[in-house]
Amino acid sequence: MTKLAYQTPVEVQESSYPQQHVFVVLNPIAGNVNVEEVRRYLEAFLTAQNWSYEFYETVGHDDLAKVVQEKIKAGATLVIAVGGDGTLSEVVNGLIDSSIPLAVIPLGTGNVVAHELGIPLNLEEACQLLIQDHKIRHLDVMQVGHRFFISHISLGLYSLIVEEIKPEQKRRFGRMIYVWQAIRKMMGKNSWRFELQVDDLALSVRASFILVANAGSVGLYALRWGQHISPDDQHLTVCIIKSRSITDYLKLLWNMARNRHYLDQNIVYLNARQKIAIETAQPVPVRADGDIIGKSQVQIQVIPAAVRILTR
């Protein structure tokens, strides 16, 4: 476990923001950090602002949406999610259509949303964002049944990469476990026939995977699924990836690294402002915000401007 050396904030810093009643959701197994040290730093930081606060450590099977909603009813004026994209996604479910803003302290492996919004990955800098000049962006979300997701939903090879990765592997190897697993899967000949409904457009395609992106960031270095993808543009982007060979994937990664996605003939983009349905006859996993939520089919509703998040 990574040792941290945070300088404890001991003085009240100048802030134009009013008194806050903060509810902090902390995932104690997120990332490869000393979570107790993170908690102590946050407690000292919030105390230094003269803000009241309450911590809640997740236990893996709790209904976080309900917990967050109850704390808002009890008077919370700011919710902070401390963890990875999975933790953030669960907290978002309790904030849909709420006027209460959400702050993010990223501790996960991918931290897709933090990359997307320019939220610092450094603990001290992420905390400073709370008391310095910041924006509040109204982010769109993706609704599947009664659940809401904020970054990506995928079917096919991209979902298979994650399906076999254990939490302890993510903590031990970090992002490299995704790279290794991706290489293993790309060596195969994985492709599926997908039936898609994107708003009023129906089509059938053969692809290695379909990714519905609310966020453009891949969560790996500066790679993006597309330069035009934004989480507050009132629509979702359907990325159809047709790469079949290791050479195809290397070309795709090269074009992504240079922000020249338009040069790759194996990626097709569609926009959806209302709804998306994806189905395949094969038992491939459906992955949403890092977690497997089903098999072979998914129906997605576009919910614009549903959650308020603090950003740079």
List, in order of start, the domains of the chain with CATH numbers: 21-133 (3.40.50.10330), 149-305 (2.60.200.40)
Specify whether the CB–CB gap between 246 and 114 falls below 8 A: no
The pLDDT of 153-172, averaged and rounded, is: 78
Give the model's pLDDT for residue 246.
Answer: 82
Which amino acid is it at 100?
I
Q: What is the pLDDT of residues 115-153, one digit of tens each?
A: 999 999 999 999 999 999 899 999 999 999 999 999 999
DSSP for 216-272?
-B-SSTT-BS-TT--TTSSSEEEEEE---SHHHHHHHHHHHHTT-GGG-TTEEEEEE
Give the model's pLDDT for residue 167.
Answer: 67
Q: What is the pLDDT of residues 201-241, one digit of tens each?
A: 999 999 999 999 999 999 877 889 999 999 999 999 999 99
CA 123 – CA 15 distance, rounded (Å)? 19
Beta bridge partners of 218: none
Give the model's pLDDT for residue 185.
Answer: 63
- Predicted model pTM: 0.89
Phi, psi of 153, deg, nearest 5: -130, 130
Give the model's pLDDT for residue 1.
Answer: 43
| Angle of CA points 224, 228, 233, to nearest 5° | 115
Q: Which carries the bigger pLDDT value, residue 63 or residue 166? A: 63
